[in-house]
């Protein structure tokens, strides 16, 4: 499709560009609708009602129910954390994998010492995790580093702790 400019020059516009215009306009409309819906949901539209509340219901009523829901979730998370702590205390150092893996290895290779290998591999696994975390940090955006900078140090500390603990055996 050719177009004539004001000065009389012809400019060729690919047909795909012309055919893509309705799609582009539809895409912009969908994005606008999505942005408006999200703004309404998060109360960025300056309206008096909160998202999820019936029309005409004051925002304070919805906020109160949201606060109650948030409190219920906080209570549930706290209960889950207590249960996790109890499970970790019950599991102790002899967790299921630490018992299963050496037993299975010893059955497959009688005369081997899988317990020693298990204790030698644990700090090495933590060192490998530190290397993986560092590689990850080396390849992420600088703005994301603040969320992961402690991962390498934590893995190295775990490796040191495991190595010190295993050296006392």
pLDDT tens digits for range 80-104: 888 877 766 665 555 677 777 788 8
Give yes or no for a contact between 133 and 151, defined as CB atoms under 8 angstroms apart.
yes
Q: Given the DSSP bridges, would you call strands 2-4 and 10-12 parallel, antiparallel or unpaired?
A: antiparallel
Asked if residue 114 has pLDDT above 60, the reply is yes
pLDDT tens digits for range 117-140: 877 888 999 999 999 999 999 999
The confidence score (pLDDT) of residue 35 equals 76
Residue 114 burial (CB < 10 Å; 0-12/13-18/19+)?
middle
pLDDT band with cut points at 50, 70 and 90 for residue 50: very low
Mean pLDDT, to the nearest integer, of 4-24?
59
pLDDT tens digits for range 29-40: 777 777 777 676
The confidence score (pLDDT) of residue 7 equals 57
Give yes or no for a contact between 58 and 48, defined as CB atoms under 8 angstroms apart.
yes
Asked if residue 45 has pLDDT above 50, the reply is no
pTM (global) more than 0.75: no
């Amino acid at each position: 499709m050719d177009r004539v400019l004001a000065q009389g020059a012809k400019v060729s516009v690919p047909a795909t560009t012309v055919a893509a215009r309705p799609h582009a306009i539809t895409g912009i409309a969908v994005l606008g609708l999505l942005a408006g819906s999200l703004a309404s949901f998060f109360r960025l539209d300056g309206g008096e009602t909160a998202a999820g509340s019936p029309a005409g219901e004051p925002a304070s009523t919805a906020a109160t129910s949201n606060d109650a829901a948030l409190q219920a979730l906080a209570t549930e998370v706290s209960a889950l954390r207590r249960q996790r702590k109890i499970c970790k205390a019950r599991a102790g150092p002899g967790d299921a994998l630490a018992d299963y893996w050496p037993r299975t290895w010893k059955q497959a290779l009688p005369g081997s010492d899988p317990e020693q290998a298990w204790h030698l591999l644990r700090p090495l696994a933590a060192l490998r995790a530190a290397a993986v975390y560092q590689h990850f940090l080396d390849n992420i955006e600088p703005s994301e580093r603040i969320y992961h900078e402690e991962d390498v140090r934590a893995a190295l500390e775990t490796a040191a702790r495991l190595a010190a603990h295993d050296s006392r055996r």
